[in-house]
Structure 1
Amino acid sequence: MAFRKIRHVGDADHRIVTAAVAAAEQHTSGEIVTIVSDMSDDYDDAALVWASVITFLALSVIAFMPDFYLGLLYGLFGGWDHDWTTSEYLALLFLFLGGKWLGSWALMQWTPLRLALTPKHIKMRRVRARAIELFRVGTESKTTGRTGVLLYLSMREHRAEIVADAAIAGKVAPEVWGDAMIALVDHVREGRPGEGMAEAVRQMGVVLAEHFPKGSENPNELPDRLIEI
């Protein structure tokens, strides 16, 4: 799956988030990784489904009002004097439905519309799946004590996820991160993604410091900087 390289946040946001990560890690052996993305999925399957649904609805309307559409057909092709065969009817019907499907699919290529028509639960699952995928590539088992945790923000879906390594997941229940998630999403909706991620990082740092306080040896094993993909 290909994702466009888009600048999601400004330089000031990068500095804010990077500083927040560095500050949070001063009090914990946990390592926080922050990633921001434009979208977590292209949702091309949603375009296919909606194009098919619209086409089926068009066929249903034709079946419900055949006389109306036959009148349009005769008007377009020279009146009632033409003797239409069954094959001609079917050919025109398939051409119409094919054009309806292609037109609907083309309309669904407009990303805001495709996102708006994708059910919320599907977007939630795709964002979560993308976060887990990125976590496995760049964070999982990358620290000595398996204390890495990923904060992932998907801008267009207004969704965020926290995925933690084994040691953290064994001590911190997922619902503990709830306040950090709420703070982040609220800031994103108000157009302040950098501040939202920084606040989420701060709250994550408090949780991590409680369960994984900083030890005498605490190497910085994962990048503090905000990563854009």
Structure 2
Amino acid sequence: MTLDVSDSDHERVSQAIAAAETGSAGEIIAITADTSDAYHDVGLHYAVLALFLLLGAVSAWPGLLDQAYSALMGWSVGRPSARALMTLLLGLSLALFLIVLFALRWMPLRLALTPGATKTRRVRRRAIMLFRASAERRTAGRTGILIYLSMGEHRAEIVGDEAITAVTTPETWGEAMAALVTEVKAGRPADGIIAAIGLIGAVLAEHFPRDAADRNEIPDKLIEL
């Protein structure tokens, strides 16, 4: 699932960020991505698993290898030698490994077979990495906050700077996350981001009210990766 955001949506998100920041000293960054990781290791893990299942099946039922040899070579060749059977097993193992590995190069299948906990960890890791690169300690009051949406994994993260995490908990952002996810599921990702920005802005205004010395330290825009 890819993010469908028009130019007008970009403008709406920018306006929502600017509006949310008028009442607080916080700086909101919104970043979206198709996926947060390539998950190459997932394909490799499934290929290795298929290989072990094949070897396990042959170990449990050795006759399977004889049947496979007869099916491939024909019944008239007689009983195969141990070398022939081992060569066949090697060939079957390699073929199965490569078939699974190449099948899982198709990203939708790879994502579907990736455990949910793995996707959650990697989306969180990518969100933290992007936050550190784009917002962490880039504001005078340590009040930067990132809204990160990863469409392929159907997951989102909200990451705050030091001053924000000192007065909030992950539960603080539950309403903003719910608003974001609801709109994304309905096919309106930009509306979800805007709704989350408004709710986050309200929390920031409560804890970090804006004063005359505040200035816009991070551009108000949606970043698509």
Cα 1:212–1:138 shift into 2, 3 Å: same
Does structure 2 conserve the Cα–Cα contact (< 8 Å) formed by 1:13 and 1:193?
no
Q: State the Cα deviation string for residues 30-53 of structure 1 (Å, max 9, x = none).
A: 000110111000011110111111
State the match for 1:145 in structure 2. 141
RMSD: 1.5
Whether 1:168 aligns to 2:164 is yes
Deviation at 1:67, TM superposition (A): 2.3
Does structure 2 conserve the Cα–Cα contact (< 8 Å) formed by 1:184 and 1:200?
yes
State the match for 2:21 in structure 1. 25
TM-score, normalised via structure 1 length: 0.93
Match of 2:174 among 170, 178, 186: 178
Match of 1:74 among 70, 76, 84: 70
State the match for 2:185 in structure 1. 189
State the match for 1:206 in structure 2. 202
Cα 1:7–1:153 shift into 2, 3 Å: closer
Which residue identity does 1:142 align to in structure 2? R
Match of 1:117 among 113, 118, 133: 113
Whether 1:135 aligns to 2:145 is no
Q: State the Cα deviation string for residues 130-149 of structure 1 (Å, max 9, x = none).
A: 00000111100101111111
When the two structures are aligned, how many residues end up with a matched partner?
224
Does structure 2 conserve the Cα–Cα contact (< 8 Å) formed by 1:8 and 1:36?
no
State the match for 1:220 in structure 2. 216
Deviation at 1:8, TM superposition (A): 4.5
> Matched residues in 2 for 1:49 and 1:163: separation?
30
Identity of aligned residues (%): 45
> Matched residues in 2 for 1:153 and 1:75: separation?
51
Q: State the Cα deviation string for residues 170-209 of structure 1 (Å, max 9, x = none).
A: 1111210111111111111111110000000000000000
Does structure 1 conserve the Cα–Cα contact (< 8 Å) formed by 2:69 and 2:85?
no
Deviation at 1:111, TM superposition (A): 0.5
Does structure 2 conserve the Cα–Cα contact (< 8 Å) formed by 1:8 and 1:37?
no
> Matched residues in 1 for 2:115 and 2:138: separation?
35
